[in-house]
């Protein structure tokens, strides 16, 4: 995607922005149902593997997990597998994650999305071959959701991820015990990429038989740079709705009905799907263009996973309430900060016209303040904005207010558009980063340093 994305839009700037605005509104709210082409539900399919769970040891109430990055033939693995093992945590757990790098290149372990303070996350620190590091923290109450881990060694992140270094994290909490969620068949679906194929839990186009009339899909986009527009389709081409229950950084207040969901690289979403009508139900990747409306889609429609619904599953009512999401008051923001994504004519990807320099602080903020970040994308392709340590809420997209409150850590900023975020700085200051989560762009310098004082 490198060469196409550095190309400038041939359209005039105004026309381009106007056109892009329409798409943003559509993508952000409830996207229109689009016409699907012929049925694409493969019949002989491998089983969707459950990812192995990472065993932890318990010492005096501290749960210790160990992850080792290693070479395996041409690839890279965490604890011998790719995707890496599932790290399952519970809100309130005291945890230490020990990481050892036995590969031959500097690497690191970033727990993407977990609200860790900058001194625990340390995204600028590399772990040399043979070296190790530890992160100790308490899992923040209220953050139950789907997260992941991957390397963060600047300049080499995309290569290491594509070689196999990525694994899932699931945090559970009291909200998961609500009626509607307890009965649901809870499935983690982690998308990675191999060559040009999108894999689900490491397998191409798997299937699985669901066990409840309500299926909870924890969708995790762990590709290096592929936007995934996802929807469900039955064999007769009818489209059951998806009930969005969680964004990146946890549960939302109540299910929000959509037909499709766009997951930018790095982003997660959880949906409930009613699975009472017997037969195959495809989770499909729909065509999506990162070049705005009228742009050429990077992909054709493709089934990524088939849910086989057996006869006789009783319906399960949807939960009516999930979890409170704090209301932030934009009037209390201490400043509005503009962050501009762009690409330079020489092919560099920039933030505010500059490429990343780890010794330069690009943004200074104060702990216990709220800021509005106006993230503008002046480029002709989408770029997903990701901020470490501080979960954000979307205020509006090109002026269109966000239809529901939600915590996020990765937010797609479509070509030519502006997304305003509410950014509260809490729990601890320090030096951290914000960047585009298309890893090739991040490696090429589309990243800035944030220092939170206090
Ligand atoms: Cu998922 Cu700074 O990264
Ligand atoms: Cu980018």
DSSP state of 128: -
Answer yes or no: are the C-beta atoms of 446 and 432 closer than 8 Å: no
**Which strand (E) or helix (H) includes residue 157?**
helix 157-162
What was the pLDDT predicted at 293?
81
Ligand nearest to the CA of 445: 2
In this model, does residue 12 exceed pLDDT 50?
no
- Residue 388 Cβ inside 6 Å of ligand 1? The answer reads yes
The torsion region of residue 75 among left (phi > 0), alpha (psi -120 to 50) and beta comes to: beta
- Residue 110 Cβ inside 6 Å of ligand 1? The answer reads yes
pLDDT band at 44 (very low <50, low <70, confident <90, very high): confident
Per residue in 338-348, pLDDT (tens digit) is: 999 999 888 89
What was the pLDDT predicted at 347?
86
What was the pLDDT predicted at 21?
33
- Residue 123 Cβ inside 6 Å of ligand 1? The answer reads yes
List the Cα angle 287/305/266 in 5-degree steps. 65
Q: Edge-to-edge strands of the sheet including 110-112?
A: 87-90, 167-172, 145-150, 110-112
Lookup: tokens for 362: 């690009």
Share of the chain above pLDDT 90, in %: 86
What distance in angstroms lies between residue 189's CA and the mean position of ligand 1's atoms? 19
Separation in Å, CA 263 to CA 206, 260, 364, 383: 20, 10, 29, 12
Residues 6+ apart with CB under 8 A from 177: none
- Residue 285 Cβ inside 6 Å of ligand 1? The answer reads no
- Residue 266 Cβ inside 6 Å of ligand 1? The answer reads yes
Answer yes or no: are the C-beta atoms of 111 and 161 closer than 8 Å: no
- Residue 152 Cβ inside 6 Å of ligand 1? The answer reads yes
Per residue in 271-309, pLDDT (tens digit) is: 999 999 999 999 999 999 999 888 888 888 999 999 999
Answer yes or no: are the C-beta atoms of 220 and 249 closer than 8 Å: no
Q: Is the dihedral of CA 282, 287, 293, 298 positive or negative?
A: positive
Alpha-carbon span 223 to 220, nearest angstrom: 9
What was the pLDDT predicted at 42?
65
Ligand nearest to the CA of 152: 1
Alpha-carbon span 232 to 9, nearest angstrom: 32
DSSP state of 181: T
Q: Which atom of ligand 1 is nearest to the CA of 123?
A: 2
What distance in angstroms lies between residue 5's CA and the mean position of ligand 2's atoms? 8
What distance in angstroms lies between residue 446's CA and the mean position of ligand 2's atoms? 7
Q: Whose CA is nearest to atom 1 of ligand 1?
A: 112
What distance in angstroms lies between residue 274's CA and the mean position of ligand 1's atoms? 32
Q: Which atom of ligand 1 is nearest to the CA of 112?
A: 1
- Residue 112 Cβ inside 6 Å of ligand 1? The answer reads yes
pLDDT band at 41 (very low <50, low <70, confident <90, very high): low
What distance in angstroms lies between residue 439's CA and the mean position of ligand 2's atoms? 8
What distance in angstroms lies between residue 205's CA and the mean position of ligand 1's atoms? 27
Among 22-26, 83-87, 134-138, 151-155, the minimum mean pLDDT is found in 22-26
């Amino acid at each position: 995607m490198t060469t196409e994305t550095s190309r400038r839009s041939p359209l005039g700037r105004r026309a381009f922005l106007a056109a892009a605005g329409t798409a943003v509104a559509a993508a952000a709210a409830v996207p229109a149902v689009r016409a699907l082409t012929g049925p694409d539900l493969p019949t002989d399919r491998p089983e969707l593997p459950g990812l192995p769970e990472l065993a932890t040891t318990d010492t005096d109430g501290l749960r210790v997990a160990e992850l080792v990055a290693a070479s395996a033939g041409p690839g890279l693995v965490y604890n011998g597998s790719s995707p890496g093992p599932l790290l399952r945590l519970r809100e309130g757990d005291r945890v230490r994650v020990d990481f050892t790098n036995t590969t031959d290149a500097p690497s690191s372990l970033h727990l993407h999305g977990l609200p860790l303070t900058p001194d625990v996350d340390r995204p600028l620190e590399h772990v040399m071959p043979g070296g190790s590091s530890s992160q100790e923290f308490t899992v923040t109450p209220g953050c139950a959701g789907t997260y992941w881990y991957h390397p963060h060694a600047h300049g080499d992140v995309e290569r290491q991820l594509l070689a196999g270094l990525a694994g899932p994290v699931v945090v559970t909490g009291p909200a998961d015990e609500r009626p509607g969620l307890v009965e649901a068949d809870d499935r983690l679906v982690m998308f990675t990429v191999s060559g040009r194929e999108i894999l689900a839990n490491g397998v191409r186009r798997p299937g699985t038989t669901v066990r409840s009339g309500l299926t909870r899909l924890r969708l995790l986009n762990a590709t290096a740079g592929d936007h995934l527009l996802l929807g469900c389709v039955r064999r007769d081409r009818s489209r059951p709705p998806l009930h969005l229950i969680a964004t990146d950084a946890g549960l939302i207040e109540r299910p929000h009905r959509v037909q499709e969901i766009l997951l930018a690289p790095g982003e997660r979403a959880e949906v409930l799907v009613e699975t009472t009508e017997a037969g195959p139900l495809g989770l499909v990747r729909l065509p999506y263009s990162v070049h705005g409306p009228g742009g050429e889609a990077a992909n054709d429609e493709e089934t990524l996973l088939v849910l086989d619904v057996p006869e006789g599953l009783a319906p399960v009512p949807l939960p009516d309430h999930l979890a409170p999401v704090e209301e932030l008051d934009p009037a209390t923001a201490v400043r509005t900060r503009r962050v501009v994504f762009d690409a330079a004519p020489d092919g560099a990807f920039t933030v505010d016209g500059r490429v990343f320099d780890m010794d330069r602080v690009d943004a200074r903020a104060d702990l216990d303040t709220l800021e509005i970040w106006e993230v503008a994308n002046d480029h002709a392709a989408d770029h997903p904005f990701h901020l470490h340590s501080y979960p954000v809420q979307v205020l509006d997209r090109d002026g269109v207010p966000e239809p529901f409150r939600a915590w996020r850590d990765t937010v797609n900023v479509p070509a030519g558009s502006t997304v305003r975020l509410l950014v509260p700085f809490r729990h601890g200051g320090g030096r951290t980063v914000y960047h585009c989560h298309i890893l090739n762009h991040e490696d090429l310098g589309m990243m800035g340093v944030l220092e939170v004082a206090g």
